[in-house]
Structure 1
Amino acid sequence: MCGRLQNQTAIVTGSSTGIGRAIAHRFAAEGADVVTNSRSEERANETAAEIEATGGNAVGVAADVTDYDAVRSLVEATVDSFGGVDIMVNNAGVTTVKPTEELTAEDWRRVIDVDLTGVFFGAQAAGEYMIEAETGGAILNISSIMGELGLHKRAPYCSAKGGVNNLTRTLAVEWAKHDIYVNALAPGFIKTEITDQTQEAADYTDEDIQKRTPLGEFGTLEEMAECALFLVSRNNYVTGEVLHADGGWSAYGWGYGDR
């Protein structure tokens, strides 16, 4: 690795599994000090220990991203541990799979609270620090192709991710004067727990996904980490962008059939 994030500190929420974990590992391999996060202290520490075992530098901090004060404490703990915050990745997310007419208020609020409000809390807390410290920085919000597309039985998730996309654009415009880059990564079908739930909701088999994707395969966690690295680099004139890393899924007008 070439150390593209040397001397930088990154927070990655929801980094005990999936895309968040892959991003945390990649950033550490690129030289960043990384704060890993989960609601569970044990799970946050597990990812940090993995990074340390491979020669990286990381600490785990437990925080519920739906808790305003806890998110601020997460940022404060990062500053205490590493002296600052250069990169904030708002990755923590959940979903629910249920027909819209059967959704309860609790179903709706749980997804919106984690997937949209949690992203706002993380971006705001990190942005406030970067503005006050006059350091600039990068904020990356993990969205989904479902922020632009509809999928049955996923009304809260699609709504939350659509909100994340426009929140990203708004913050990019507002904070550009502070040299804060704000972008979103919108993965397509990557093998994660949430993708498994999406396939269940839509009754898609792996073969269905592969046929529907122009590149003909699922994306990988490593590819998402590579996209994340590009979006936080701050050397590419890119801010306010929602990058669809979906193998061509959202560009495919025909929709189904053989490639």
Structure 2
Amino acid sequence: MISSIEGLSVLVTGSSKGIGKGIATSFAASGARVTVVARTEAAAMATVEEIKQAGGTAIACAADVTKRDQMDAAVAASVEAFGGLDVLCANAGIFPSASLEEMTEDQWDEVLDTNLKGTFISVQAALPALKKSQAGRVVLTSSITGPITGFPGWSHYGASKAGQLGFLRTAAIELGKYQITINAVMPGNIITEGLEGMGQNYLDQMAASIPLKRLGDTTDIASAAMFFASREAGYVTGQTIVVDGGQVLPESLEAME
């Protein structure tokens, strides 16, 4: 456990399931006070109840990351409940599949609005509270898909995740004067509800292409996020860390044999 996480006020978007839920529950287990943000209050409350049953502290907030007023309200709820905001984990993201040939403008806009514009809105909404913190941290959930790799059907997703890293680098310069750091975790294939929906054949193929021969767990991503949020990482900003079991390393499956 990273000891400096204890007592921090942490807001995690998209934290009712998947990687976001793993981040929220891991922060809470390490003693942070967590604001669970999801599109519906019922979804957020389900994660909050799990945290509370495990002895953690959390509140639920319904907010759409594409709506500035709703994110302002989520930040305000966190400040009211916990006396401030120290860490924003901008995790909310979607990845519906559509080939480039058949993708509609609406499908493109939906993914870019949630994944990229939602990152911008979340950071901007959190900034006033983070400026008052003694340990202002922003952690983005990006991906290896887009910045490093590609996958058919995810051109919009890949563009959004690569875009987050372009945003990250300039944001790090601008936020540095407030002693706020901003970094990104780039997950590979992590077992979540969404990935399980891709089917067992997909999961088996992905595991076969990973040097560690397994898919990751949400706690693997949460551990990296907690490092970036910690006091120990106070001099790290504008950086990324790939958490993928070595997936991006082999030139081909032959290299794995």
What TM-score results when the alignment is normalised by the length of structure 1? 0.92
Partner of 1:101: 101
For the Cα contact (< 8 Å) 1:88–1:140, is it kept in 2? yes
Q: Do the aligned residues in 2 keep the contact of 1:4 with 1:31 (CA within 8 Å)?
A: no
Partner of 2:165: 165
Report 1:29-48 matches (<5 A). Answer: 29-48=29-48
SS class of match (1:49) = helix
- 1:242 to 2:240 alignment: yes
Q: Return the offset for 1:136.
A: 4.3
Instruction: Note the residue ranges of structure 2 that are not aligned, 5 or more in a row.
Output: none
Distance 1:61 1:182 in 2: 23
Identity, % of aligned positions: 36
Normalization by structure 2: what TM-score? 0.93
Q: Which amino acid aligns with 1:233?
A: S
CA-based RMSD? 1.8
Per the alignment, residue 116 of structure 2 pairs with: 116
Whether 1:206 aligns to 2:209 is no
AA of the residue aligned to 1:182 = I
1:158-195: CA deviations, max 9, x gaps?
00000111111221121112111100111000112343
Residue 85, structure 1, aligned to residue 85, structure 2: yes
**Structure 2 residue 181 is the aligned partner of structure 1 residue 181:** yes
Query: What corresponds to 2:146 in structure 1?
Result: 147
Letter in 1 for 2:141: I
Q: CA deviation at 1:3?
A: 4.3
Letter in 2 for 1:212: S
Deviations 1:8-66 (A, max 9, x none): 10001111111111111111111111000110101101111111111111100000111
Q: Does 1:225 align with 2:255?
A: no
Query: Is contact 2:2-2:227 (8 Å) kept?
Result: no
CA contact (8 A) 1:33 1:82 kept: yes
Contact between 1:38 and 1:64, CA under 8 Å: does it hold in 2?
yes
1:215 paired to 2:185? no
C-alpha contact (below 8 Å) 2:84/2:133 kept by paired residues = no
* Residue pair 2:139, 2:228 contacting (<8 A) in 1 also: yes
Corresponding residue SS for 1:124: helix
Deviations 1:77-101 (A, max 9, x none): 1111111000000111111211111
CA contact (8 A) 2:28 2:51 kept: yes
Aligned residues: 254
Could you say which residue in structure 2 is the equivalent of 1:17?
17
| Runs of 4 or more above 6 Å deviation | none
1:234 Cα deviation from its structure 2 partner: 3.4
Amino acid at match of 1:42: A
What does residue 74 of structure 1 align with? 74
CA deviation vs aligned residue, 1:194-242 (integer Å, no higher than 9, x gap): 4346x57xx9632321221111110111211111111111323221111
Secondary structure in 2 matching 1:250: coil
CA-CA distance at 1:157 after TM superposition: 0.1
2:114 alignment partner AA: V
* TM alignment of 1:52-67, pairs within 5 A: 52-67=52-67
Equivalent pair of 2:150/2:158 in contact (CA under 8 Å): yes
Aligned to 1:191: 191
Q: 1:216 to 1:134 in 2, by over 3 A?
A: closer
Q: Is the 8 A contact 1:144 1:185 kept in 2?
A: yes
Identify the range of structure 1 (178-187 vs 121-130) with the bigger mean alpha-carbon deviation.
Answer: 121-130
